Amino acid sequence: MDDSHRSESGFLSPRGWALLAGGYAFACGALVAVLLSDVLRLFVDVAGLPAGFPVPLLAAPALVVGPPCWWRLIERRRAFSYRAGAAYGLLTALCTGGLWTGWFVTVWGVEMLAAGPVLLIVAFTLGFAAVAGLLVGLPLAYARRRVGGAATSAIADAP
């Protein structure tokens, strides 16, 4: 049986990996939202978001941001390295946090972002998300190398 077309048209195609990366980013974002639930619950209240499902709501932008970030950094460049995986996680986390910070600014204005401890809370949350993003990108890069990029991963890591 010839599996040569499987990597190009099946779920393990570059598009499939990008979609998987979005789902993975959502799951990791939900986990980070649970860990930061006390801080983020305040954000949900202040930003006027529905308080019923704050964890999936806060992680939802990663579903949209994750696939293009993965495509741009990993699949398009065929860079299946751990460094590229960490960059994917960092970029996805910062874009997701940036979208929510933009929402906050839209609701309350830039002046409120600089008022009191708000900027400190935003910086803490983005910093935590950035570190988490760096770490969560590594297992996905490992999976991509092992399952779909073993032949090219050596080339991607070459100096």
Please give the structure tokens belonging to residue 46: 């202040």
pLDDT one-digit tens code per residue, 75-91? 999 999 999 999 999 99
Q: Where are the domains of the chain?
A: 6-157
Answer whether residue 122 shows pLDDT above 60: yes
pLDDT one-digit tens code per residue, 41-55? 877 887 778 877 788
Are 48 and 8 in contact, with CB atoms under 8 Å apart?
Answer: no
Query: What is the distance, to the nearest Å, from the Cα of residue 40 to the centroid of all Cα atoms in its chain?
Result: 17
